[in-house]
Amino acid sequence: MTEPLLTIENLILALPQGADRPHAVDDVSLSVAANEIVCLVGESGSGKSMIAHTILGLLPAKVRVESGAVRFGGRDLLALPAAEMRALRGSDIAMIFQEPQTALNPLKRVGAQVAEAIRTHDPAAGREATSLRVRELFEQVGLPDPRTLVSAYPFQLSGGQRQRVMIAMALANNPSLLIADEPTTALDVTTQRQILDLIRSLQAARGMGVLFITHDIGVVADIADRVVVLRRGRVVEQGPARTVLNQPREDYTRQLLDAVPGRGTLRRAKEDAEPLLEIRGLQKTFITRQGFFSPPRRVVAAEALDLRLHRGETLAVVGESGSGKSTLARMVLRLIEADDGDILFAGQSVRAMGREALRQFRRCAQIVFQDPYASLDPRRKVGESISFGPMAHGVPRAEAERLARQWLERVGLTSQAADRFPHEFSGGQRQRICIARALALEPSLLIADEAVSALDVSVQAQILALLAELKEEMNLSMLFITHDLRVAREIADTIVVMRAGKIVEQNGAEALFAAPRSDYARSLLAAVPGKDFFERASARPAASMPASGAQSG
Amino acid sequence: MMHALRLLLGRVTGIAFAILAIATINFVLVHSAPGDPALVIAGQSGATDAKFIEQVRADYGLDRPYLVQLGTYLGKVVQLDLGYSYRQRRAVSELILERLGPTLLLTLSAFVLSLVGGVLFGALAGRRHGSWSDLTISMMALLFYATPVFWLGLMLVLVFSIQLEWLPAFGYSNMRSGTFGTFDQAVDVARHLVLPAVTLSAIYMAVYTRLMRSSLIEVQHEDHVRTARAKGLTEAAILRHHMLRNAAVPVITFAGLQAGALIGGAVVVETVFAWPGLGRLTFEAVTARDYPVLLGLFLVTSILVIAVNLLTDLLHRLIDPRVVTR
Amino acid sequence: MRDLVRTFFRRPAGIVGLVLLGLVCLMAALAPVLYPASPWEMTGVPFSRPGENGMLLGADTLGRDVASGVVHGARVSLLIGIASALAASCIGVLLGCIAGYAGGLVDMAIVRFTELFQTIPTFVLAILLVAILTPSLATIILAIALVSWPPLARLTRAQVMSIMRREFVQAARCQGQSTLSIVTRHVLPNAISPIIVAGSLTVAAAILIEAALSFMGLGDPNFMSWGYMIGAGRTVIRQAWWMSVFPGLAILLTVVAINLVGEALNDALNPRISRA
Amino acid sequence: MKRRDFTKLLLAGMALPGAGFMRDGMAYAQTPDGGLTSLLAPEPPTLMLPLNQQQPTIVAGAKIFESLLDFDFDLSPRPQLAESWDISEDGLTYTFHLVRNAKWHDGAPFTAHDVVFSCSQMLMELHPRARASFERCESIVAVDDHTVVFKLKEPFAPFIYAFETSSAPIAPRHIYEGTDYKNNPANDHPIGTGPFKYKEWVRGSHIHLVANPDYYQEGKPGLTEIFFRIVPDAASRAVALETGEAQLAGWNDVENFDVQRLAALPHLEFTTKGYEFASPLLWYELNLRKEPFNDLRVRKAMMHLLDKSFIVERIMFGLAAPATGPIASTTPFFQADLPQYEFDVDKANALLDEAGLKRGADGKRFIMRFLVVPAGEMWTRLGEYFRQAMAAGGIDVVLETTDMAGWGQRVSNWEFEATNNLVYQNADPALGVARSYVSSNIRKGVLFSNTEGYENPEVDRLFAEAAVQTTREARQERYTAVQRILVEDLPVLWMTEQRYATLYDNRLVDVIVGATGVNGNLAQARYA
């Protein structure tokens, strides 16, 4: 191996006073060579993005480089004058970001934004030459119809197309190093697959060095030549991808690998039990009126949905964004009213329920939402948020409060947590509180709407385990909404795949993974990151699950 | 194209409805006032003659039932006939039309001045967030925001007209300039415009400055600015191409909402500066209880506000492509 | 609560505002003690300059004490400002809550109504209302309230709607909590901070409107107010600048103070900033 | 644009006010080439004087329209459209000999038929004050093209004053006869016989009149043109005079407190003459229909509580004189030595005690409402002063404000307790004084009538007799008697005789030449 493209040596980044730790990044050394993809993997707060930003000199003002060096092409980037650093940005070193939605200027045409990148570093470039080059780039990144697309605005593009534009912009000046900061995290799984393939092929074609930052071990498995595992600002382990993934030396790496969902034993659907929830011909179209005369916008969220959830069963509804899966969950609880069709809960029509009947029904059917930050009232103590439920059903205040404390302990928190406010808890802890809130009403049906999607993998694994455990204990039935097939596989007996408001496939988990009946399910399965690796790995005995109920969640 | 047409059609009917509703509200409001307009005319003519008063009443339909008056009024509004001023003895539309120009000139220049000034100062302050210039601009903005408009007008007259004798203190033009070439007159009107426009725009400039400042500070932390930085753009280029326009969007949206207040402010400013516009006509009509003029004025000013709203909408569309299809 | 106070006092601007506002309130409260005589008392020497003839801020054309007027004027300005802001808040919050909670046709009707009120040039409307109803404290307060509520209604509606969409409210609905319980326990406490801030800023705006009305001769003639003093003094500004300068400064300082306090309150009530 | 260019532009823009562009604007203070810029406020509704007689209409319209006579400072008649006139011994026949060379502004000759048409038809329909005058006529006849004879039904001494310009503006018969007067297109382009012709009217800004080259008086007018600058704001008007942008102001154009300052300016001339015809009297008016104002003792007490000199000095800033009774000292038949009510708080309190109005625990006897006249600062001050003055007698006054319409409605419909009023004397007690006190003029809904509701048969009789007497002595006798009764009865609380300031550029001469001052035609005014 020749001289590496990028070398980071003993980098220490100091956080401002009052942060949870003194150093965002503590003594990190790594290198990226030409023509290789180095994955920087870690959970949230591991400092991986900080490292990326340090390279380009884009650190927020509060964070200070305490010591260390970042060498690129023989120069220490940390000591480079501002003008030279600027000349490097976007030309020799380019970067793409996580949120293509916000990373592009919403008010400028995408073509102009790419052209700007070219002209910034080559002021002499003519108009014609530049626009030609932009179209070339658009073609290279696989954007359809570049000629018209260059004059589109970001909001007119899909998420994947935006990310392709970002990549085109990054490649505009033929960088030797590309830094990709979670470039696929905000994308649907099939789109993620395409973008990963694109980065891979472009890298290979151009011989670029790529520093790829991700939290997803699956993605690492798919793309990395070498891996650097980061935890709380420190390098845990680094080495060639194959070695690190197959023979992890460190416990943490192993934990990360084990936490990846969808590798447990498959469950078998219990066909024989009676249905608790039955949905027939459910219909919902969202119509947004824009005026008296303009045609209303119609979005079909549910079209003739039929499904059954048996007692004690876990049914996962899987689909990409916009498939209508969350609307389905809300329609069951009548948080959104359906247009047509029937929802039967234990034989009773939910849609026909009056106010009081609905109240009683909701007691039996509880929900846990995706965003643990939005789903707790920031101005109420956690204990109150839980105890209001039983109180609404006639439980005396003191008893309700006792129940709240009891449930907090049950989901792995202390009973003192009841007296604290939501902002004092981490995301995983909040999700535990939400589960406690839902279960305090002793429901028979629990709806989990992307309940683990916002969490780090290790926490995700813990929450999934907790849910599984509680489900057994309380004989719950669960409607589990997720975009992640791996999670569905982890927890579900039956899986329903939705796309654009329609059910594409309804199948036992085992059957679906073994032999998907629909093309769409097949493409979803194929797109799961790290699929090949884990399939190979699952041939070997799986590492043990971490214990549930840990306070660290 | 069809889409745009439909949008326009929807807009127009919406405006028509709004105008009719405003017309009705105005009519009810103005006519619930105490004070007999017939008496005012009579009194001001030095009349001591009951017959004369009856005559005035008959002349202007004031003796007919309330609902008939309203019906007649609405019917006329639909035909764009705003009635006849008994005090001024002229058609209301004529009165309003001849005052419309100066008011448009004043409010539009104040609008543009406040917007441009606000965006400029706000950008300056927001860019150097926390610096001395930021502190100074923010403080000035706060002070101007808290200054009563009429008071500011007086101070400006005191300083620029009376002390320094730079600018005329009042009026629309030096009447003799009207006989000369158009350029002279334009210069003359422009000189008369300076103080009232500055006075009227001050408070809004302060508002927009504050808004622009916070908007810019917010934009500074947005992802696409980081993207621009990662592209290697200079800070100046980032400011110009990726921050100013984005930060100005909420300011412009807000400015549209302020159009009504701007015309309200014009009443005070036009009175202080003897600016012969709709604002002054409004005050004169209120004190003279000139019903037809008041009704016409409220209608026209409301239409003006709607027009300004449309204008800002257009501006918004121009700088924010997302609005068009949304 | 302690958080709130601490954040509030972390901003020097907030402290300055509070001190200024405190002074104005003190002035209003102590008016009968500081100047027991009526501010209309015409006993001084007309056109006394500040400091002359025992009058701190000079006398007006009739020999009335400007200082006494400024002190007594504080009562009226604050009274009108606070009362009309409260009235506007009542109208605005009620309509906003109904619109935001009810949604649908009710919402649309209220929104259209609000828009209509915003389309009518507000100050012109205020002039008209006061002129129609004849100027008195009550009518001025009513007029200012009637032109000030639309922004509060819009804000409340937006707040309520955004809170209603938040998942914790949906969770509360799923828990079976009653509508009243949801609104009082979850929606209002979360929606109220910006409304309080906007309400406090409405006080400042109301004081300015009152001043402009009084300036145009539409004030309550039985109460000495700052706007009236400027209106009475502006014509003699060359002979007696003090007649309009001091009440003008009083308005300026009060409005600035309320704005500073409002901003600090905004920061203090904003959980993102206060608990950061 | 490059950044530097932009900065340059910005700097240039900021430097502008200091540059020549701005300074040369002092041009508005230039010598107006024989033209005059006069202030006018508020904007008149029309210039068609026969149609409307509001103050600003008169000021501007009287340069275009004329009547038969003009009046000297002592109110003696002078020729205008009438060269000479005779009044018969019995006071019933007025014969006017008209000027022979007068032409309308459109070139048509002015004749006696215009006068007959105006006085017997047009003004009878349009002009309430003229109607009151010419209703007294048995006939109005044009003897020839230049002689008109008015025959009265019974003698009316002040009839001669009916021929003042604003009282009977003569309109062109050839344009108005047989038309709808109010909607005649000529109203927008008024045609008179006056020294100035209508040129242009930019609404909200100014009215432009130019000299009439065919004016019937040789060598007049002395000015080439007149601009009436419409400035609603008093402070702005003062600035206009100060900077020389305007050269003439009359009536209330300048607020009283500003008069002294402006009068002292070297380029301005100041006079209070020229308002003798109007001679307005200002008083506090009480609604005598209501308790306790129907009690003479209360009215007397209030009179003792009011300090006229305070009003004259502090509210009018010297532009007034204390009024001693119902007739102003500048109006004929004024009686000088009437008993007066001196400023005396103790006496007032004694009178109030006597009237049985005891002070309550808070020191207040009763609460009354005072309706402030919504016509400007002076009126507001009068209200504020009234409240303070009454407080000394334990009377608690609450001020009410309204707009002009509301004020007119409430006063004329007797829905008030107290207010101010200001009434023109119109050169003769029979025209401007009697109307406020005779019981026949208690007319609901009519402003400037006997709104206070005073009734005294003796007063009615004396006024009626005085109007039809033909000798000065006989009239004086009755007016003296009526003045004595009224001063004792106090139907209203007379305060001041108003004086008005006329300010004009000191290069102008012969601006104010008669009893109607700035309401005159300014034919003689010129630059020295």
Give B16 to chain A, closest Cα distance, Å: 13
d(CA B73, CA B306): 21
Q: Yes or no: say if C99 and C111 are a contact pair by the CB < 8 Å rule.
A: yes
Average pLDDT over residues A150-178: 86
Q: Which of D275, D278, D276, D295 is nearest to D286 (CA)?
A: D295
The amino acid sitting at A203 is: Q
Which pLDDT does position B89 carry in this prediction? Answer: 66
Helix axes of D377-391 and D296-305: crossing angle, nearest 10 degrees: 110
- Using DSSP bridges, classify how beta strands A177-181 and D206-211 pair: parallel, antiparallel or unpaired: unpaired
Which pLDDT does position B325 carry in this prediction? Answer: 43
Return mean pLDDT, chain D.
87
Element containing residue D508 per DSSP (H, E): strand D508-509
Average pLDDT over residues A386-390: 89
B 240-259 → D contacts, CB under 8 A: none
Q: Which of A506, A504, A503 is nearest to A493 (CA)?
A: A506
- Report chain B residues whose CB lies below 8 A from the CB of D233: 170, 271-274
Which of C105, C166, C167 has the highest number of chain A CBs within 10 A, making it the mutation to test binding with A? C167
d(CA A375, CA A371): 6
- Scored b (16 or more CB within 10 A) or e, A356-391 reads eebbebbbebbbbbbbbebbbbbbbbbbbbbbbbbb
Q: DSSP characters for A319-381?
A: E-TTSSHHHHHHHHTTSS--SEEEEEETTEESTT--HHHHHHHHHHEEEE-S-TTTSS-TTS-
Neighbouring C-beta atoms of residue A74, cutoff 10 Å:
7
Average pLDDT over residues A246-267: 78
Which pLDDT does position D469 carry in this prediction? Answer: 87
- Say which residue, B82 or A42, is predicted with more confidence: A42
d(CA D5, CA C264): 40
d(CA C8, CA D420): 54
Note whether A102 contacts B: Cβ–Cβ < 8 A.
yes
Which pLDDT does position C111 carry in this prediction? Answer: 86
Confidence at C275, pLDDT banded by 50, 70, 90? very low
Element containing residue A428 per DSSP (H, E): helix A427-439
Q: Compute the count of residue pairs across chains B and C with CB atoms less than 8 Å apart.
A: 113
Which pLDDT does position D1 carry in this prediction? Answer: 38
Q: Which chains touch B (3 or more CB pairs under 8 A)?
A: A, C, D
Contact call for C166 and A379, based on CB within 8 A:
no
Average pLDDT over residues C148-153: 90
Alpha-carbon torsion angle A455, A456, A457, A459, nearest 10: -70
Q: Which of A77, A101, A105, A78 is nearest to A177 (CA)?
A: A77
Terminal CA-CA length for chain A: 41
d(CA B288, CA A170): 69
- Report chain B residues whose CB lies below 8 A from the CB of A92: none
Q: Compute the count of residue pairs across chains A and C with CB atoms less than 8 Å apart.
A: 73
- Report chain D residues whose CB lies below 8 A from the CB of C235: 234-235, 238, 255, 257-258, 377
Element containing residue D321 per DSSP (H, E): strand D320-322
- Report chain C residues whose CB lies below 8 A from the CB of D398: 222
pLDDT digits (tens, 9 = 90+) for D450-470: 999 999 999 999 999 998 888
Note whether B319 contacts A: Cβ–Cβ < 8 A.
yes
pLDDT above 90 covers a percentage of chain D that reads: 55
Model pTM score: 0.78
What's the Cα-to-Cα distance from B78 to each of B65, B92, D203, rounded to whole Å?
20, 15, 26
Which of C62, C129, C225 has the highest number of chain D CBs within 10 A, making it the mutation to test binding with D? C62
- Report chain A residues whose CB lies below 8 A from the CB of B246: 105-107
- Scored b (16 or more CB within 10 A) or e, C2-38 reads eebeebbeebebbeebbebbeebeebbeebeeebeeb
Question: Does residue D26 surpass a pLDDT of 50?
Answer: no
Helix (H, G, I), strand (E, B) or coil at A285: strand
**Helical ranges in chain C per DSSP H:** 2-10, 12-34, 66-102, 104-119, 122-133, 137-165, 167-175, 179-181, 188-215, 226-234, 241-269, 271-274
Q: State which residues of chain B have pLDDT below 50.
A: 1, 43-48, 175-181, 325-326
Q: Which chains touch A (3 or more CB pairs under 8 A)?
A: B, C
Helix (H, G, I), strand (E, B) or coil at A93: strand
Average pLDDT over residues A372-392: 87
Helix (H, G, I), strand (E, B) or coil at D201: strand
Structure tokens at A463: 């929450």
Least confident of A248-252, A507-511, B142-146: A507-511
- Region of residue A312 (phi > 0: left; psi between -120 and 50: alpha; otherwise: beta): left
- Report chain C residues whose CB lies below 8 A from the CB of A355: none
Structure tokens at A462: 């813990």
Q: CA angle at residue D313 from D312 to D318, to 5 degrees?
A: 75
Return mean pLDDT, chain A.
84
Give A356 to chain C, closest Cα distance, Å: 9
A in contact with B (at least 3 C-beta pairs within 8 A)? yes
Q: Which of B21, B162, B264 sits opposite C124 (nearest CB)?
A: B264
Question: Does residue D341 surpass a pLDDT of 90?
Answer: yes
d(CA C15, CA C26): 16
Question: Does residue C23 surpass a pLDDT of 60?
Answer: yes
Which pLDDT does position B36 carry in this prediction? Answer: 63
Contact call for C235 and D387, based on CB within 8 A:
no
| Length of chain C measured in residues | 276
Q: Which of A39, A28, A29 is nearest to A180 (CA)?
A: A39
- Measured in whole angstroms, the distance separating CA A238 from the mean position of its chain's CA atoms is 24
d(CA D283, CA C142): 34
pLDDT above 90 covers a percentage of chain C that reads: 14
Contact call for C132 and B145, based on CB within 8 A:
no
d(CA C29, CA A186): 59
The amino acid sitting at C154 is: R
d(CA A62, CA A57): 13
Q: Which of D51, D54, D35 is nearest to D43 (CA)?
A: D54
d(CA D204, CA D206): 6
A in contact with D (at least 3 C-beta pairs within 8 A)? no
Q: Yes or no: say if D495 and D314 are a contact pair by the CB < 8 Å rule.
A: no
Give B264 to chain C, closest Cα distance, Å: 5
